[in-house]
Amino acid sequence: MLILLAICFPIIAGICVSVKKFPDERARDKCYAVISVVSLAIGILAMLLGKPVTIAEFSENVTLSFGFDNLGRYFLAAALIMYSLVAFYAFEYMKMEERPNVFFAFFYASYGAVFAVCASSNLVTMYLCFEMATLTTVPLVLHEGNKEATAAGLKYLFYSIAGALMGLFGVFFVYYYGSAGRTFTEGGYIDRAALSGHEGLLLAAVFVAILGFGTKAGMYPMHGWLPTAHPVAPAPASALLSGNIAKAGVIAVIRIVYYSVGVDFIKGTWVQYAWMILAMCTVFMGSMMAFMEKNLKKRLAFSTVSQISYIMLALSLLSPEGFRGGLLHVMGHASAKGCLFLVAGIFIYKLHKRNVADLVGVGKQMPVTLWCFLISALSLVGIPPLAGFLSKWVIAQAAVGDGMGVLAFLPPIVLLVSALLTAGYLLPIAFRGFFPGEDYTGSTENMEPSALMTVPLILFCACSFIMGIFGVNILAAIGF
């Protein structure tokens, strides 16, 4: 029951506080702060002590069940960190937005949905929770309510529905050919006797599912919603979409490939090679589009397309080393990109600046904020000792050591080119912000935001350092 409490508490409490009338914003935000702290505490307890629970049984092998394994705990840890830090940041940021109570209602609803995705014990449960995560985050994109936000929200919804239907196609065939139980199992649970003679059909279904769930992760050709949704969503929502919601697609792919079908069934087939090629194309394409983009949040959105496909590329290697590299990048990307989107929000909130060209000299006004931007940018580029370096190093080693001929050397080359492009579209922002030139005549007034905004940035940077130094040890401690 502890797991159900952890799922339901933020949803119910967030809605109740959002519909209640408060004398002022301060009183309401205190209630939201209590919800965030209690949700974090219950989440940690459920992650460590929660017992598996089945709440509905549709048929003998189709149940709605929750329980944690090490993979679920790892993804949940990233979600708990992200939601906790973003919540306190949003208390300040949402002062500039209308209807903050509506934003927080769906913020906490999505909190519970993401928790449920991480805690799902089988594909049916995960699929239903995956859909719930979509439905609770569409209103975050729609929040501003203008024409642009409405178009972006609908695009996100349509892409998500299309991707989910493709994922459902794969789920159906995996269940059909699965052995009794259908609970996530390392190595998969496919009944090879029942599958005999139909291997090609299941391979095609798995590939369709990878494309479908990869929609949430922004993998080509289903990536189009990301650069449209991010620029119009409030900055806290953008951080969640990039750092956590997009990772729902990653965990779904892991669950169907590694914990349902099994790596051995896919390795060496056309599915693996097509998946790898699509992931590499997405890495390169996302980096190129980010390099050419002038709007900061849209640039970061294209960067998300590229960076999450690092994870997909690592997973497509279908090796323990590639798997570990992908998991390292899950946490490394969440901490770096979460920080970058929150910094972009500060530029909007304090300076009303959205375009890269307008950020010259910004380091004179908010040095702490820009230092956090620089540290997170260096992590994404892959500079030691930050998390991005460690994850890319492990992924590159996994690719070279996998013995796949030319495909063994393409991933490191793509990662290197992407790293150079990442440096090209992120580092000049920091350099021009700190060193605007002798002819700079802009303001030098201190415009640093409150601690509600700066402390989350600092903690995200600390996560980047911790994962960069101790990431391999952390994965080993939890069994990877």
**pLDDT tens column, 393-426:** 999 999 887 667 777 788 889 999 999 999 999 9
Report, as an integer, the average pLDDT of 154-180.
89
Report, as an integer, the average pLDDT of 338-364.
92
Kindly indicate the confidence band of residue 468, based on its pLDDT and cuts at 50, 70 and 90: very high
pLDDT of 76 above 90: yes
For residue 221, cis peptide bond before it (omega within 30 degrees of 0): yes
pLDDT of 352 above 70: yes
**What percentage of the chain exceeds 90 in pLDDT?**
70
| Whole-number Å distance between alpha carbons of 60 and 101 | 42
pLDDT of 390 above 70: yes
Average pLDDT, the chain: 91
Which phi and psi angles does 63 have, rounded to 5°? -130, 160
Contact (Cβ atoms closer than 8 angstroms) between residue 375 and residue 429: no
Rounded to 5°, angle at Cα 336 from 335 and 338: 65
pLDDT at 180: 64
Report, as an integer, the average pLDDT of 27-44.
93
pLDDT at 181: 64
Contact (Cβ atoms closer than 8 angstroms) between residue 259 and residue 71: yes
pLDDT at 336: 95
pLDDT at 145: 79
| Whole-number Å distance between alpha carbons of 429 and 361 | 9
- pTM listed for this prediction: 0.94
If you average pLDDT over each of 13-22, 90-99, 171-180, 369-378, which comes out highest? 369-378
